[in-house]
């Protein structure tokens, strides 16, 4: 696949943004499946809840679990892009964000192949980026269950640029943006669009400075490769 039309050129390399990566029908099927997920599958955090599919990443390695067939469809779609090179995606982190919920500045860390693929469903959000040295070193990284730790005050953040993530879009982050920058989502119920959003020209919709977009409930599928995983697969209901 030729990604040249999807490169976000107004930010450090390398980011790609693909609007309408999935169809409206696919989005509705994803949302319906997530809605049916049993409560024990969810990990409840203070500011959102999440599900790990494929296993729980851990410094000692991940015991691979079978990804449900409905979700494996999108893992295969990601793998078919060839972005992971010789690797294959084997883990999906599902995050649910209600209006007013977000995630603190973090990197995804060394447990994963240094590449992030995120499909957004249900609502837009705005992803913010800070240079790593602008935060205390203890603020970077994620828990093995996918939750960023520890909490950080927004007043410590120097936001350099932002992406608007539309429903059904795919965001790809790698290289410098994976290693040297922190990404976060502010805990607000609406986003005021400004000139620090650097992917306007890649978006499906047209936006104006000062537009106010109210958030709905957003489901994100972050699809990644965990290199240190067992070959044994355990199937859980």
Cα separation, 75 vs 112, in Å, equals: 15
Give domain status of residue 32, yes or no.
yes
Give domain status of residue 204, yes or no.
yes
Angle at 157 between CA 152 and CA 163, to 5 degrees: 110
Give domain status of residue 146, yes or no.
no
What's the number of domains the chain is made of? 1
Read off the DSSP letter of residue 109. Answer: -
Tens of pLDDT, residue by residue over 63-115, are 999 999 999 999 999 999 998 888 899 999 999 999 999 999 999 999 999 99
Q: Bridge-partner residues for 171, per DSSP?
A: 17, 118
Give domain status of residue 147, yes or no.
no
**What's the CATH code of the domain at 87?**
2.60.120.590
Give domain status of residue 199, yes or no.
yes
User: Where in the sequence is the domain holding 208, given as residue range(s)?
Assistant: 4-134+156-227
Assess contact for 33 and 73: CB atoms under 8 A: no
Give domain status of residue 150, yes or no.
no
Among 54-63, 114-123, 165-174, 186-195, whose mean pLDDT is lowest? 54-63
Give domain status of residue 236, yes or no.
no
Tens of pLDDT, residue by residue over 155-185, are 456 899 999 999 999 999 999 999 999 999 9
CB atoms within 10 A of CB 133: 10
Total-model pTM? 0.89
């Amino acid at each position: 696949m030729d990604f040249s039309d999807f490169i976000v050129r107004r930010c450090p390399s390398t980011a790609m943004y693909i609007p309408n990566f999935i169809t409206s029908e696919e989005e509705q099927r994803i949302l319906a499946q997530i809605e049916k997920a049993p409560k024990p599958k969810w990990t409840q955090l203070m500011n959102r809840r999440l599900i790990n599919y494929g296993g729980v990443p851990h410094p000692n390695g991940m015991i691979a679990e079978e990804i449900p067939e409905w979700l494996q469809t999108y893992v295969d779609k990601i793998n078919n892009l060839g972005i992971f090179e010789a690797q294959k995606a084997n883990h999906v982190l599902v995050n649910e964000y209600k209006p007013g919920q977000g995630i603190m500045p973090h990197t995804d860390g060394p447990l994963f192949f240094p590449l992030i693929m995120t499909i957004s469903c249900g609502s837009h959000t705005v992803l913010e980026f800070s240079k790593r040295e602008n935060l205390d070193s203890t603020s970077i990284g994620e828990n093995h269950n996918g939750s960023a730790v520890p909490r950080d005050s927004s007043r410590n953040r120097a936001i350099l640029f932002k992406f608007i993530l539309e429903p059904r879009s795919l965001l790809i982050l790698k290289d410098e943006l994976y290693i040297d920058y922190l990404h976060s989502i502010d805990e607000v119920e609406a986003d005021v669009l400004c000139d620090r959003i650097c992917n306007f020209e890649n978006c499906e919709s047209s936006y104006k400075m000062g537009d106010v977009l109210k958030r709905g409930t957003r489901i994100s599928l972050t699809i990644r490769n965990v290199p240190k995983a067992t070959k044994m697969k355990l199937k859980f209901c």
